[in-house]
A = this chain, B = another copy of it.
């Protein structure tokens, strides 16, 4: 499988998974006050927003990874498939968490399940970098010296999600807040992943 094609297909799945999230938000029944319904649904909307931004960050990381890659082997193809399966399952977990946060019933179990699935996605990324570490021939020449740094950086995901699972056993909103922290952490794209064609002048990106 050509890496470019695999990336395009994965992009499609990730974009759809992000956009489908919204259909799990229950539209308030006709006749109900809109602001009241929204306030009631605020926890579900928060879970929706965290999931959406997390999936966007997954996309950014996925793109950065395949930008550094020239080919994929069978193990990577398999892990990539598992990653897409897990990402497509996020909408289910988001709906479960949203409902649970709204009613306050079984919300800790829902938070654990949610962090578990995000953690699985995150672990797939780390596994992909481990594959690339083991077979640097799959990387572009420029990317080879940076594979260690990328692998180390990717470990932040599984680590924080593990904490989020443990916190979820005690408190659901705190666990969701931790999940949001991962998205924020990875939103801070390190310098070396930015567009290289830009001139290093003051007019370029910070």
A contacts, CB < 8 Å to B: 1-3, 5, 8-9, 11-25, 27-35, 38, 49, 52-53, 56, 59-60, 63-64, 67, 70-74, 77-78, 81, 84-85, 88-89, 91-92, 95-96, 99-100, 102-103, 105-106, 109-110, 113, 135-138, 187-189, 193-195, 197-199, 201-206
Contacts and interface: CB of A to CB of B under 8 A. Distances in A.
The 7 nearest A-B residue pairs measured at CB: A137-B203, A73-B205, A12-B15, A34-B109, A71-B195, A16-B19, A30-B99
A64 to B, nearest CB: 7
Interface of A is mostly: helix
B63 A1 contact: yes
Contact of A28 (B67, B70, B96): B96
Contacts of A28: 96, 99
A203 B63 contact: no
